[in-house]
Amino acid sequence: MSLALREYDFERRFDERRALEWMQENWSKSFMFCGLYARRPKLNLRRPLVLWSLSLAIFSIIGAFRTDCTCYTSSQPAASDSPVCDISFYSAPVSKFWAYAFVLSKAPELGDTVFIVLRKQHQVAGGGWFMTMNYVVHSFMYTYYAARAAGLRVPRPCAMIITATQIMQMVMGLAVLGLVYHWMHEVRCPSYMDNIAWGSLMYLSYLILFALFFYNSYLKGSSGDKGSKAE
């Protein structure tokens, strides 16, 4: 039994074809955002940081809710028996808007924008999973950032849980790419080797970085403290 989401007018009327054309024509602008970010001076803007993080948290929470449900309840027939290969969310009434909003959000976040636009490849298998995982993780992450920027004391376990979810996101990303690679030669699991290779490199590098951060921040120090107390 599937749970149908209510379709809002702005989601239903969103023209995904025109949006895709615009992205294909303007993909190079992402490098401008990267350049502006790299050259900006360090500023101490606590209140704008709270508002910025809070707005991204709210955006991610809404996006997670709208895409998490529609990934499996699209009103259109699935492109494959496997949900990993289903690309109908790119054109489904609700998720098509949030898929486009997700890609645009990568510009100010400056996360994996370059990997999305370098090849100008869109609508590949697995994209819905990557998008939903990112929305969910960023819901927790930016809520945490907003609380910290506002001067609230956040318990240490919260930071550990957020880092753990980031690690799980990278593991899931690699797993999805592995399944796409396994099924990509089938007619209904569209993807490209370049997309899988760059995506795997991105997820693997993030996995190593987050795993090292988790170990150095939460495990290494704790084991050292226990050893000192034992002595």
**Secondary structure of 144-157 in HEC code, one letter for each residue:** HHHHHHCCCCCCHH
Low-confidence residues of the chain, pLDDT below 70? Answer: 1-5, 27-45, 69-82, 107-122, 186-187, 221-231
pLDDT at position 117, please? 41
Let me know: does 27 contact 120? Beta carbons within 8 Å.
Answer: yes
Q: What is the pLDDT of residues 149-206, one digit of tens each?
A: 888 999 999 999 999 999 999 999 999 999 888 888 766 788 888 889 988 999 999 9
Can you give the residue ranges of every domain in the chain? Answer: 42-219
Distances in Å between the alpha carbon of 98 and those of 15, 52, 103?
12, 19, 9
Q: Widest CA span of the chain, in angstroms?
A: 68
Query: Tokens in use for 216?
Result: 């150095």
Note if 122 is an active site residue.
yes
Catalytic residue among 122, 138, 182, 185: 122
Interhelix angle 127-149/46-70, rounded to 10 degrees, is 150
Rounded-to-integer distance, Cα 95 and Cα 64, Å: 10
